Amino acid sequence: MHIPDGYLSPGTCAVMYAAMVPVWVRATRRIKKVVKSRYVPLVAVASAFSFLIMMFNVPIPGGTTGHAVGAVAIAILLGPWAAVIAVSIALGVQALFFGDGGILSLGANCFNMAFVMPFVGYGLYRALSRGTVLTSARRVVAAGVGAYVGLAAAALCTSIEFGIQPTIAHTADGTPLYAPFHLSQAIPAMMIEHLLLVCFVEAAVTCGIIAYMQRANLPLLRPGDPSAPATEDEATRKTPLGWRWAFVILGVMVLLAPLGLLAPGGAFGEDAPGELDLGEWGLQAVPTGLERFAGFWSHTLLGDYGFASGEHPAPAYVLSALVGIAVIGAVMFGLIGAYRLMTRERRTASGDPAA
């Protein structure tokens, strides 16, 4: 679902960035409460989790692959605005350091996976679980349904962005300049694989996370739904907000990350220009715009999560996972530190004794 550079026209990329800027601004303002609370580390953990789970490619019949995102699970735990920040940072790190998704198309990828997906999934979760306590089994089902529909919505947006390119950007004779997939091709190719398999994976992961939190760390479900009815059972299960469980989960995911290499083929719409089956899309040559912008960003640290030589893919995948977590942690806590510093300076300037 990561759209590489070259598949979307510059105009489309500009529109998607323009759409995301107010979302990022709003998200930054809305997560102030999280920044001031003891849940700050969870935002970084959530971003790292999203980064890692997207490395686990699932093989799909027909030779393509897909992956879960974790955006709805993050939204359920911390709220959809925190999910916007967490998933956006994960996507940005993937694009900059590993070439997974493009820089020009980062706005579109964030719109699909960091905005549409968590808000659609979280909205459905809240609607289906309204009036239930945090320990209710209905919340697990609601989380699964929300995750399934949220990922499907993100996939639909991606397929539409692909599918409109031949219509809005083509040569005088109708040859596509960027993505060669028409809506009639892109929507079935993207939606069938997600609806029949990948969305179920996303739902299973999300259900597992919520069910685990209900039993092991119930307070972590409260920020995502502060209005949920409280029970005496919840009051007696206020377990300490320890972080050992988070590091254990991330550590296990890092060690298992090479399993993502077992999926043959690549994801739909993520082929490099030289890997396109031109005949399948009725082309005589690679679209000129796609070929021009495909190499827009060539400064990756570990391109495609591997060494430049192509050797030792499994260790390279593990190293990529570790580097990704380190960068995400540095970025997240850097942003939080900068926000707190600016807040302190404003209070000092205003003469606030709490500064």
pLDDT score of 242: 58
b/e per residue 156-194 (b: at least 16 CB within 10 A) = bbbbebbbbbbeebbeeeeebbbbbbbeebbbebbbebb
In a domain, residue 309? The reply is yes
What residue numbers bound the domain in which 170 lies?
Answer: 10-272+283-349
In a domain, residue 312? The reply is yes
In a domain, residue 5? The reply is no
Q: Reply yes or no on whether the pLDDT at 293 is more than 90.
A: yes
pLDDT band at 36 (very low <50, low <70, confident <90, very high): low
* Helix/strand/coil for 267: strand
Phi, psi dihedral angles at 123 (to 5 degrees): -60, -40
Average pLDDT over residues 64-81: 94
In a domain, residue 354? The reply is no
What total of structural domains would you count in the chain?
1
Phi, psi dihedral angles at 58 (to 5 degrees): -105, 125
For residue range 137-159, list pLDDT tens digits in order.
Answer: 999 999 999 999 999 999 999 99
Overall pTM surpassing 0.85 (yes/no): yes
Q: Minimal CA–CA distance to 21: which of 111, 120, 91, 113?
A: 111
pLDDT score of 265: 82
In a domain, residue 2? The reply is no
In a domain, residue 243? The reply is yes
* Helix/strand/coil for 147: helix
Q: Reply yes or no on whether the pLDDT at 354 is more than 80.
A: no
For residue range 225-282, list pLDDT tens digits in order.
Answer: 888 888 766 666 655 555 677 888 899 999 999 999 988 888 998 988 888 888 888 8
For residue range 189-204, list pLDDT tens digits in order.
Answer: 999 999 999 999 999 9
CATH code of residue 151? 1.10.1760.20
For residue range 333-342, list pLDDT tens digits in order.
Answer: 887 777 777 7
In a domain, residue 136? The reply is yes
Task: Based on DSSP, count helices (H) and strands (E) in the chain, helices before strands.
Answer: 15, 3
What number of other Cβ atoms are within 10 A of residue 299's Cβ? Answer: 9
**Worst-scoring range by mean pLDDT, 297-301, 312-316, 330-334?**
330-334
Q: Reply yes or no on whether the pLDDT at 185 is more than 90.
A: yes
In a domain, residue 211? The reply is yes
